[in-house]
């Protein structure tokens, strides 16, 4: 490491670089900051940089001392020349060109080196180190592309020739060409800068700083001149002011460069913001951009459509091709519209272009639109791009610096990510999703078929009774009633129910009241009523089983109800839980009982109703639900008999019977409710059953009307049974307490529901058959009529 | 990798055509031009009513000794034609499809640019770079 021999040029060059990096003049350069920038500018792969750092001993020391720094620079030169990095190579490799540090934005940085008079080798590392902007002025020699640039380049050319010549003299030539555009007096450029930004410029003119001139240009732009300049943008010579500014900076740059005084350079560097990014937008600039944005789009969070942006930027009188390129760079998410950040970036690029800066191939970091929508960018205000990307320069991630070729690859990724982010941010997909979801939920309660509004079936006794009464007329519609809304699967169940019910013509009756019920937040009665009226009403008494309002009112519902009950109850009240649980437990005994009660079809709806009435009291909370669970519970306990009743209620007694067989469990629940309704005796049981009866109650009511007679006898039986059941239930309550019962209850209810389903299916088929028969009869009658008619016609 | 990539407008004039071996470009231009007939044939064969069902990727249009020509049509009747070297046997159909997808997406980005007038030649640098990435690196 030691023993580094440097040529004179190298010595000088390195010294300058060291001074540049040694911001604090401590003769020690920390590993971060300028050194990293420098290394980054060397365009070496990151690994090489790391290796260099290791080799030069900076890692060891933790910082770059002067010797380490020199060694590092030498290694950079070695690496750039393609030689392997080794300690020995420092001294062995002769005739190394000076390390090249190319600033990111300016490929023309190297040209600056040409202007570096002191350096025989045109490795303008020094200038390269300097932030690009200063270089730009120089570069213009090469960058043609713009008419605007050309005049400057001529000026630039002059400068290198006579570097020491007061820049003020050369530049005036170029600026003059600009002048015609300028609204500002064509005073010497030097004056301009001074007059302009003031403090920024003064140091420049005084010290003739090199590097920061470029920065100063931008910095200078911020204060007053920018306003004038910016404002003019919209008008004819918008860029005039800027241009005027630029030439000044150009002069300064050239001057400074030639001067190459480390001190001044340091000063300047200090004055300029930290490693700079010529593309950074200053506050004033940003404010100006924002104002301009507002003129087009008052909402700062909104977009500027492409056409408006096109008109706006066309005013800048840049060639369409360049504007097109600027657009490509700045429309980050490729949506054809500009957000505030994108607009600022585009505006900035236009300004830069107007000032003769070449457009980068990739969007510079500082101009990247902040993905703030999704991210919380640190610098929300000023530095759009830097949030996610600017990262500490210390990292020297090659991917970040635009100049690095690897950038091209990383940008797309970043772009994509940002695009995704911004897009997702901007898109109202989430909203649409939510809307969609919300749409799903609210079924039109009016539509019978539509799931009957998941209203908990905690049919109040009163409601149920009402329902029953209403439904008195139509047995067919019973299916709906029993169904009673089930909370969880209301929609589905409703649909199912409705479909089933409709078939049976539920809606015919005044069950429409159920509609109202469905809409009624009060669940208890509602469910019942709903089911009555709407076939579609959600019979969800129990969440899981969508016991469609099948004709087996109590059973199916009961099962579902049970579920709900069980769940809700368990969570809430003990009793409820008890009730809920009981279904789990009771089902076992119930099934056995169920068949029994099933037989008793004619169970009194009343009984059930009574049960239900009582049950609802107990399980008020679960409006739609499931009384099935309750039912099951009840069924197990008392309702078994009642189930029969409930089933009876259905016009299709036969089917009910069948249903009851399968859905006995369900029915049990229903019957439970019914039983409850019916039997006061089963009060105690009712309590437990209360949950279940919720659903059934409506049915029971109906049933009652219809088949009360039938039920009566059963009721008696049921009552007896209820007594037994009551006892059972009484015992049950204690059982279900355990949470584990819930599962059983659920499973039981599921079983019951399935049974109910099969029963209902059978019922359905039977009904279909009956329908066919009836139709046939009708046809035959019609035929007969027709036969008779002709005689009349005759 | 493609040897030549062309974007043909609906009216069958080129919006963008670029070949890698810059000599002999005329030959590629001619190939692309003749392939347009095949493209039209394939499009019309699908039937007018089947625009939706028509797949955008047309597949191999016609092979020659040295080259194979693939086609792709967008819903707005903008055609992408790609000429690949026959010797490049490793190119699978999927790769061709993905290349066309990239082309299509870049083309869409160009279209989104308000400064681009549909019907103009495509001069977007991004598009150029994307096409370059797809072309054979003839060095």
Residue B113 with chain A: CB contacts under 8 Å: 306, 324, 327-328, 331, 336
Q: Is A710 on the interface with B (CB under 8 A)?
A: no
Q: Given an 8 Å threshold on Cβ–Cβ distance, is B114 in contact with A306?
A: yes
Supply the pLDDT for residue A771: 95
Q: What is the mean pLDDT of residues B84-110?
A: 84
What would the pLDDT profile of B52-69 be if each residue is shown by its tens digit? 556 788 888 888 888 888
Residue B115 with chain A: CB contacts under 8 Å: 310, 313, 320, 323-324, 327
DSSP bridge partners of B17? B6
Residues of A657-681 as b/e, b for ≥16 C-beta within 10 angstroms? bbbbbbbbbbbbbbbbbbbbbbbbb
- Strands B2-8 and B79-85 come out as antiparallel
For residue A680, give the nearest of A576, A602, A629, A606 by alpha carbon: A606
Q: Is B116 on the interface with A (CB under 8 A)?
A: yes
What would the pLDDT profile of A185-236 be if each residue is shown by its tens digit? 444 444 433 333 334 333 333 444 344 443 444 433 444 444 444 444 444 4
Question: Are A419 and A339 in contact, with CB atoms under 8 Å apart?
Answer: no
DSSP H helices, A101-200, are 109-115, 125-129, 132-139, 149-161, 170-179, 191-195
Distance CA A680, CA A672 (A): 12
Residue A325 with chain B: CB contacts under 8 Å: 124-125
CATH of domain B2-138: 3.30.450.70
Cβ neighbours of residue B6 under 8 Å, at least 6 residues apart?
Answer: B14, B16, B17, B18, B28, B29, B32, B80, B81, B82, B83
Maximum distance among all Cα pairs of chain A, rounded to whole angstroms: 136
Residues of A291-307 as b/e, b for ≥16 C-beta within 10 angstroms? ebbeebbeeeeebbebe
Mean pLDDT for each consecutive 10-residue tract of chain A (794 residues)? Answer: 63 77 59 66 75 69 71 76 67 61 46 41 40 40 40 41 42 40 41 39 40 40 41 42 42 44 44 54 84 83 83 84 84 82 85 82 73 46 39 40 43 46 43 44 49 59 57 48 43 45 44 43 44 44 56 48 51 45 47 45 44 45 49 50 46 45 46 46 44 45 48 51 51 55 90 94 95 95 88 62
Residue A334 with chain B: CB contacts under 8 Å: 108-109, 112
Supply the pLDDT for residue A782: 93
Going by the DSSP 8-state scheme, the letter that residue A623 receives in this structure is: S
Please state, in angstroms and as integers, the Cα–Cα distance from residue A273 to each residue in A217, A219, A400, A412, A627, following that order: 12, 9, 19, 28, 74
Question: Are A637 and A729 in contact, with CB atoms under 8 Å apart?
Answer: yes
* Model ipTM value: 0.84
Distance CA A698, CA A483 (A): 9
DSSP bridge partners of B73? B79
Supply the pLDDT for residue A98: 67
Chain centre to alpha carbon of residue A301? 17
Cβ neighbours of residue A466 under 8 Å, at least 6 residues apart?
Answer: A513, A525, A529, A701
Q: Given an 8 Å threshold on Cβ–Cβ distance, is A324 in contact with B112?
A: no
Question: Are A497 and A556 in contact, with CB atoms under 8 Å apart?
Answer: no
Given B109, B114, B124, which is nearest A310 (Cβ)?
B114
Long-range Cβ contacts of A26-30 (<8 Å, 24+ apart): A27/A65, A27/A66, A28/A63, A28/A64, A28/A65, A28/A66, A29/A63, A29/A64, A29/A65, A29/A69, A30/A63, A30/A64
For residue A616, give the nearest of A602, A603, A626, A606 by alpha carbon: A626
Question: Are A547 and A501 in contact, with CB atoms under 8 Å apart?
Answer: no
Distance CA B71, CA B66 (A): 17
Chain centre to alpha carbon of residue B115? 23
Going by the DSSP 8-state scheme, the letter that residue A144 receives in this structure is: -
| pTM of the complete model | 0.34
For residue B69, give the nearest of B129, B8, B22, B9 by alpha carbon: B8
Minimal Cα–Cα distance from A306 to chain B, Å?
A: 5
Q: Given an 8 Å threshold on Cβ–Cβ distance, is B113 in contact with A324?
A: yes
Minimal Cα–Cα distance from B123 to chain A, Å?
A: 7
Supply the pLDDT for residue A90: 60
Query: How many residues are recorded in chain A?
Result: 794
| 3-state percent breakdown (helix, strand, coil) of chain A, nearest 5 | 65, 0, 35
Distance CA A611, CA B69 (A): 81
Q: Which two tokens stand for residue A756?
A: 């109910």
Question: Are A251 and A242 in contact, with CB atoms under 8 Å apart?
Answer: no
Query: How many residues are recorded in chain B?
Result: 139
Helix (H, G, I), strand (E, B) or coil at A345: helix
């Amino acid at each position: 490491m030691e023993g580094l021999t440097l040529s004179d040029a190298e010595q000088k060059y390195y010294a300058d670089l060291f001074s540049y990096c040694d911001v604090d003049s401590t003769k020690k350069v920390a590993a971060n900051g300028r050194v990293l920038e420098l290394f980054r500018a060397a365009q070496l792969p990151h690994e090489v940089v790391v290796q260099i750092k290791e080799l030069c001993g900076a890692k060891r020391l933790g910082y770059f001392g002067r010797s380490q720094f020199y060694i590092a620079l030498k290694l950079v030169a070695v690496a750039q020349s393609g030689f392997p990095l080794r300690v020995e190579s420092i001294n062995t490799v002769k005739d190394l060109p000076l390390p090249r540090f190319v600033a990111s934005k300016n490929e023309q940085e190297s040209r600056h080196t040409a202007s570096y008079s002191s350096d025989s080798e045109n490795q303008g590392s020094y200038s390269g180190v300097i932030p690009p902007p200063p270089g730009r002025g120089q570069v213009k020699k090469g960058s043609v592309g713009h008419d605007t640039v050309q005049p400057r380049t001529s000026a630039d050319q002059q400068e290198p020739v006579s570097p020491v010549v007061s820049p003020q003299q050369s530049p005036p030539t170029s600026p003059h060409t600009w002048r015609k555009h300028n609204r500002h007096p064509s005073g010497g450029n030097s004056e301009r800068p001074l007059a302009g930004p003031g403090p920024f410029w003064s140091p420049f003119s005084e010290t003739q700083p090199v590097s920061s001139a470029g920065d100063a240009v931008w910095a200078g732009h911020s204060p007053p001149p920018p306003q004038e300049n910016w404002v003019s943008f919209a008008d004819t010579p918008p860029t005039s002011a800027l241009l005027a500014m630029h030439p000044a900076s150009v002069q300064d740059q050239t001057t400074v460069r030639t001067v190459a005084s480390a001190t001044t350079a340091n000063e300047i560097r200090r004055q300029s913001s930290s490693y700079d990014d010529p593309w950074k937008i200053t506050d004033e600039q940003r404010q100006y951009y924002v104002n301009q944005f507002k003129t087009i789009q008052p909402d700062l969070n909104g977009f500027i459509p492409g056409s408006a942006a096109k008109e706006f930027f066309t005013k800048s009188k840049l060639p369409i091709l360049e504007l097109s390129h600027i657009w490509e760079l700045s429309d980050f998410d490729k949506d054809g519209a500009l957000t505030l950040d994108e607009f600022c970036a585009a505006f900035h690029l236009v300004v830069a272009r107007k000032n003769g800066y070449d457009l980068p191939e990739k969007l510079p970091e500082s101009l990247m639109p902040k993905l703030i929508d999704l991210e919380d960018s640190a610098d929300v205000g000023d530095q759009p791009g830097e949030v996610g990307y600017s990262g500490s320069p210390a990292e020297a991630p090659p991917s970040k610096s635009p100049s690095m070729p690897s950038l091209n690859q990383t940008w797309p990724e970043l772009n994509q990510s940002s695009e995704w982010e911004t897009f997702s941010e901007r898109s109202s997909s989430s909203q649409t999703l939510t809307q969609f979801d919300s749409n799903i939920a609210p079924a039109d309660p009016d539509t019978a078929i539509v799931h009957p509004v998941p209203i908990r079936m905690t049919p109040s006794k009163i409601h149920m009774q009402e329902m029953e009464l209403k439904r008195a007329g139509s047995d067919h519609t019973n299916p709906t009633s029993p169904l009673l809304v089930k909370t969880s699967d209301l929609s589905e169940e409703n649909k199912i129910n409705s479909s089933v019910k409709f078939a049976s013509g539920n809606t015919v009756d005044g069950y429409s009241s159920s509609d109202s019920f469905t809409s009624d937040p009060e669940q208890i009665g509602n469910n019942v009523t709903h089911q009555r009226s709407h076939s579609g009403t959600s019979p969800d008494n129990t969440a899981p089983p969508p016991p469609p309002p099948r004709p087996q009112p109590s059973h199916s519902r009961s099962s579902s109800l049970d579920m709900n009950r069980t769940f809700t109850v368990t969570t809430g009240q003990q009793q409820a839980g008890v009730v809920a649980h009981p279904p789990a437990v009771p089902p076992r005994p119930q099934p056995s009982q169920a068949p029994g009660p099933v037989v008793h079809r004619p169970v009194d709806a009343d009984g059930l109703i009574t049960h239900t009435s009582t049950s609802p009291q107990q399980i008020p909370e679960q409006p739609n639900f499931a009384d099935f669970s309750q039912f099951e519970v009840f069924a197990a306990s008392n309702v078994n008999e009642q189930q029969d009743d409930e089933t009876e209620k259905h016009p299709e007694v036969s089917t009910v019977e069948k249903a009851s067989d399968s859905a006995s469990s369900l029915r049990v629940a229903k019957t439970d409710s019914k039983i409850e309704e019916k039997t006061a005796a089963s009060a105690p049981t009712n309590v437990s059953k209360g949950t279940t009866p919720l659903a059934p109650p409506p049915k029971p009511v109906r049933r009652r009307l219809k088949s009360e007679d039938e039920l009566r006898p059963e009721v008696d039986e049921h009552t007896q049974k209820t007594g037994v059941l009551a006892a059972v239930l009484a015992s049950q309550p204690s059982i279900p307490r355990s949470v584990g019962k819930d599962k059983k209850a659920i499973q039981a209810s599921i079983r019951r529901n399935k049974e109910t389903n099969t029963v209902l299916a059978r019922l359905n088929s039977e009904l279909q058959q009956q329908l066919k028969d009836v139709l046939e009869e009708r046809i035959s009658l019609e035929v007969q009529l027709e036969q008779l008619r002709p005689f009349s016609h005759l | 990798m493609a040897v030549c990539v062309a974007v043909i407008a609906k009216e069958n004039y080129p919006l963008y055509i670029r070949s890698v071996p810059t000599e002999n470009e005329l030959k590629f231009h001619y190939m692309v031009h003749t392939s347009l007939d095949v493209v039209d044939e394939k499009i019309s064969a699908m039937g007018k009513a089947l625009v939706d069902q028509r797949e955008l990727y047309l597949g191999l249009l016609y092979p020659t000794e040295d080259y194979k020509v693939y086609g792709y049509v967008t819903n707005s009747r903008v055609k992408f034609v790609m000429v690949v070297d026959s010797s490049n046997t490793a190119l699978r159909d999927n790769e061709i499809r993905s290349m066309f997808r990239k082309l299509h997406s870049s083309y869409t980005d160009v279209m989104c640019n308000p400064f681009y007038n549909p019907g103009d030649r495509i001069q977007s640098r991004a598009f150029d770079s994307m096409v370059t990435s797809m072309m054979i690196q003839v060095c």
